[in-house]
Amino acid sequence: MAGTTTAPAVLGNPGRFRRWLPYAAVLGMEWRQTWRSWAYRVGLILLAVLALGYLLHRAAIYHQAGIVQPASALVAELFQASLILGPTLMVILSAGTITAERGTLADSVLSRGISRFAYFLGKWQGRLAALLSGWLALGAIVIFLAWVLLRHEDLSLLGSCWALGLLVSVLAAIGAVGILFSALCPSTALALLLAWVVVHGAGAMLWLSALTPLHPQALWSWFPLLVRGAYDTTAVLRAIGWAWLFAGLAAIVGTVHLARCDL
């Protein structure tokens, strides 16, 4: 009697995992492309050189001349400087997320079975994850070196982590605006210009109206308090929530536009 073979039972429902494969592919590709981008590497290296050079300079003054250099003051100054350099750098690195692939967008979406929702979500999350991971790594290194090399009695590690989280959240909202305009505009130059104008215009409006704590003057005054541990957790969480709300709204608008526009 001939033996019969039975196919092994498949556990679970593989169909629900396959629908996420295009999204995962776009996410992974965007992550790798961002880290391989020369503009991103040059920007990250430039920020690292400026931050670490300033930190080592202050450490030399402390150890060689004996002049007290509080670690909290240096960390707060570097976070405040990030409010000046960070928005422009985030706009530059995010405005070409989708516009740079206009020539292959129709082929990717229509010929390879990738939905527009999966395409935009993968590009959005992949680019933001790569950009923000660089800021987080650099911020963590600065906090650690300041704690080791400078006088750190007034430096709160938990407060510094809150300050870094708040800074990264604000930069995430700005990056989301850049990605939004990369989906709305036909060229990278136009997306860069409009995103830069909108980001700085929104910052000025929030500053004048004071509707949310996410305006330049408030954030500038918050960082010295946060790094010393003088903060209200509820207020910080509220500010972080506002930042990610703006980022989420930008993602929704970009997804809706990409789903309705002609490729």
Domain boundaries, the chain: 21-260
Residue 217, C-beta contacts closer than 8 angstroms, at least 6 positions apart: 207
- The model carries a pTM of 0.86
**Residue 35 has what pLDDT?**
92
Question: Of the candidates 93, 220, 66, which has an alpha carbon nearest to the alpha carbon of residue 150?
Answer: 66
Q: What single-letter amino acid sits at 46?
A: L
Residue 262 has pLDDT above 90, yes or no: no
| pLDDT above 70 as % of the chain | 86
Model pLDDT for residues 157-172, shown as the tens digit of each residue: 999 999 999 999 999 9
Per residue in 174-225, pLDDT tens? 999 999 999 888 888 899 999 999 988 888 887 777 666 777 788 888 999 9
Which one is predicted more confidently, 207 or 19?
207
